[in-house]
């Protein structure tokens, strides 16, 4: 599902105009991004939890040359699906 399709689905299910659905979807994504940037977890009961974890620095390989390269430490976003979402998919 692309963002346009998501917006259409939100508009239909919530009874919103597409413009309102765009604003709502963008605000939702922005709120999650801001919370994660502060280091907060974002639990959505039944859907899942967004969180930030730290990935340590490590050595990797350039696939073309086989040369060893140093990969810097970084923060990564993770998502753990909730039970209701898992049940809906299965």
Task: Kindly report, residue by residue over 39-74, the tens digit of the pLDDT.
Answer: 999 999 999 999 999 999 999 999 999 999 999 999
Query: Which pTM was predicted?
Result: 0.78
Quote the mean pLDDT of the chain: 95
**Does 32 share its domain with 68?**
no
Compute the average pLDDT of residues 17-24: 96
Among the listed residues 50, 38, 56, the one whose alpha carbon sits nearest the alpha carbon of residue 78: 50
Compute the average pLDDT of residues 17-35: 96
- The pLDDT value recorded for residue 65 is 93
Question: Considering Cα of 36, then 39, then 45, then 46, what sign does the dihedral take?
Answer: positive
**Does 89 share its domain with 76?**
yes
Host domain of residue 72: 41-90
Among the listed residues 21, 23, 26, 28, the one whose alpha carbon sits nearest the alpha carbon of residue 7: 21
**Does 30 share its domain with 58?**
no
Among the listed residues 73, 79, 47, 44, the one whose alpha carbon sits nearest the alpha carbon of residue 60: 73
Split into its structural domains, the chain has a count of 2
Answer for the pair 79, 43: CB distance below 8 angstroms, yes or no: no
Residue 90 has pLDDT above 90, yes or no: no
């Amino acid at each position: 599902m692309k963002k346009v399709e998501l917006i259409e689905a939100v508009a239909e299910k919530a009874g919103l105009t597409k413009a309102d659905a765009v604003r709502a979807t963008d605000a939702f994504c922005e709120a999650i991004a801001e919370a994660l940037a502060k280091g907060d977890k974002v639990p959505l009961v039944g859907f899942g939890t967004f969180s930030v974890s730290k990935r340590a620095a490590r050595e990797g390989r350039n696939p073309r040359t086989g040369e060893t390269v140093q990969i810097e430490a970084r923060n990564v976003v993770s998502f753990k699906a909730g039970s209701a979402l898992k049940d809906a998919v299965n």
